[in-house]
Structure 1
């Protein structure tokens, strides 16, 4: 029996390796495809810090000449996975909020209150084309100026791999891991198109957050688990507790 990972490439390979090390069989069906967008940096802009809510925003960052001057700035990352990507991209001063976008907002505001970050200095938000939360708006309501640069977009994948469709049809998949609302929607549409929606929703669905879980429950899934915190470690812990009690 296999666990299906819907996380986009290349992060899905790291997830698969972790699961296999824990004794799980793994199938991959990345439901979103990454597409980089050019960084349009204003050389005359003076930012106080960079904020990032996804490691995808930093993929290929080191290849942008315009981005090199940004490496001198402190960077606020939503969690440790994104923080690690920032360090690999060349940022030296990386602060991880160890949570979600709300935790990142609070981390930035705490640094402003502690006068470690000037409230008058604009923040540069490196973001995706589709955002689950208006972080820039949240910070703007609290008196900060945020400049948003869209550095990537994730395109939904419309088809399940044949091996995965066959796995659902033959009841060889025991759980699915979900990482975002968009990828969950893409998964449901692909399963419906492949004619395996009933089988796909009859098994355990492990979600990284409540908003993701709501997409699956609304579609008819009855076995839905939610990670204790919005990060992959917690997601894999929920899966392991359910399948390896």
Structure 2
């Protein structure tokens, strides 16, 4: 099958190699540019737990003064893998769903008398900090990166895409879906996706692309990409 990934390369390189090893034709269309945001200095000793809803939040955080034994809650396996790779010892991961992550925190955060630190990007689809505040948690959110829409696409890639449309495309966020929709409209590709299966994280993400005619639309959590190949 021809499979199209839309995340930044460092977030999907392992998946690309994995799918190629399975014999699939894999294309890459990075829809977002990720850049660091300067943030206030953090006294990590004030916090009893830390929350990451993306690997980028870990990547752009200065961890020199952070005790890696702190309780670390991650939105999914990829984020947890990133946290583990740089030394976090006490990680708990949800299945790629922030709502599930909230429930994991409610069930597993043991030092409720101490504040939690939530590190995220500028744009979020679920106000995790507000939900936890409503549950009585003391939580501080730090924003340390932003995602902007990629405006520069290779003309050769677009021509090749027209000639060989993907069987599957994976879209990982509402922001990515908006960027993808702009890409489709700007390059007049609206009518070419009727034999493509759209894989989206969440209904809010898929709804942005509902005006495009797809073969089928599937909802998934990160880590289920390979499993979805056998549902088609």
Fold shared per TM-score above 0.5: yes
Whole-angstrom CA distance in 2 between matches of 1:134 and 1:125:
11
1:37 aligns with 2:28: no
Q: What is the CA distance between 1:45 and its match in structure 2?
A: 5.8
1:224 aligns with 2:216: yes
- Cα shift readout 1:81-122 (whole Å, capped 9, x = no counterpart): 11111112221211112341111111111124xxxx222211
After the TM superposition, which of the residue ranges 192-201 and 92-101 deviates more from structure 2? Answer: 192-201
What is the match of residue 169 of structure 2? 176
Change (3 A) 1:162 1:201: farther
Give the one of 178, 181, 185 matched to 2:178: 185
Secondary structure at the residue paired with 1:56?
A: helix
1:98 aligns with 2:95: yes
Normalising by structure 2, we get a TM-score of 0.90
Secondary structure at the residue paired with 1:173?
A: coil
1:23 aligns with 2:23: yes
Stretches of structure 2 that go unaligned for 5 or more consecutive residues are none
Normalising by structure 1, we get a TM-score of 0.86
After the TM superposition, which of the residue ranges 122-131 and 90-99 deviates more from structure 2? Answer: 90-99
Change (3 A) 1:174 1:235: same
Comparing both structures, which one devotes a greater share of its residues to helix? 1
Whole-angstrom CA distance in 1 between matches of 2:176 and 2:123:
12
8 Å Cα contact 1:207/1:235 also seen in 2: no
What is the match of residue 81 of structure 1? 78
Secondary structure at the residue paired with 2:227?
A: helix
Whole-angstrom CA distance in 2 between matches of 1:72 and 1:234:
29
Stretches of structure 1 that go unaligned for 5 or more consecutive residues are none
What is the match of residue 225 of structure 2? 235
What is the match of residue 51 of structure 1? 51
8 Å Cα contact 2:193/2:212 also seen in 1: no
Whole-angstrom CA distance in 1 between matches of 2:198 and 2:157:
15
- Number of residue equivalences: 232
8 Å Cα contact 2:120/2:141 also seen in 1: yes
After the TM superposition, which of the residue ranges 192-201 and 99-108 deviates more from structure 2? Answer: 192-201
Change (3 A) 1:101 1:44: closer
Change (3 A) 1:98 1:26: same
Q: What is the CA distance between 1:60 and its match in structure 2?
A: 4.4
Change (3 A) 1:184 1:202: farther
Q: What is the CA distance between 1:19 and its match in structure 2?
A: 1.2
RMSD: 2.1
Give the one of 174, 189, 194 matched to 2:187: 194
What is the match of residue 130 of structure 2? 137
1:205 aligns with 2:198: yes
